[in-house]
Amino acid sequence: MSIGFVILTLIVMGILDLGRVYFLNLALEDAAGEAALYLSLNPYCPDASSGDDCSDPKNAKYRALHSGGANVDWSTAGFTYEYRNPGDGTWSQTIPNEVQSGMLVRVTIETEFQVLTPVISAITRGQPITLSVFAVGTVV
């Protein structure tokens, strides 16, 4: 009876971890999509340090942070903004001097997820799992 309770508790904790990581992933995808959408309309403002016209709320990072992901620890999240010409195969993290219609912008967000389940935590040796999502937009 007591062994069954322990196994049932571990299963429930595993289901809770799966739910937490699922909703965290959804929030990250929504934030990356919001930032990519903003960069497709205003490609020169990935964050507030990009220029005088890019102060909050007129930048992609602000839009991502305020997209509704309340369960995301944004202090540990990393943002990467990349640009690419449609005919070119390489992504560049520098903002081009002249952004043309049809260019692609990619926003990548990475954050860490700490599991609660003791068995999974033992497998990961107590280290958090890194989650990474990206969204691509086309400059109009």
Over the stretch 53-88, which tens digit does the pLDDT of each residue have? 999 999 999 999 998 777 788 988 999 999 998 888
The secondary structure of 71-124 as a DSSP string is TS-GGG-EEEEEEE-TT----BSSPPSS--TT-EEEEEEEEEE----HHHHHHT
Instruction: Give CA torsion, residues 96, 99, 104, 106, to 10 deg.
Output: 50
| Total tally of structural domains belonging to the chain | 1
Mean pLDDT of the residues in the chain: 89
Tens digits of per-residue pLDDT, 1-41? 788 888 888 888 888 888 988 999 999 999 999 999 999 99
Q: Which pLDDT does position 35 carry in this prediction?
A: 96
- Return the pLDDT at 2: 80
Task: Print the domain residue range for 71.
Answer: 2-138
Q: Residue 66's pLDDT is what?
A: 92
> In this predicted model, which residue has the larger pLDDT, 40 or 115?
40
Contacting residues for 107 by C-beta, under 8 A, at least 6 apart: 32, 35, 36, 39, 46, 60, 64, 79, 80, 81, 82, 134, 135, 137
The pLDDT score that the predictor gives to residue 72 is: 84
The pTM score is 0.86
What is the band of 121 on the pLDDT scale with cuts at 50, 70, 90? confident
CA 102 – CA 100 distance, rounded (Å):
6
| pLDDT value, residue 110 | 96
Residues in the chain, overall count: 140
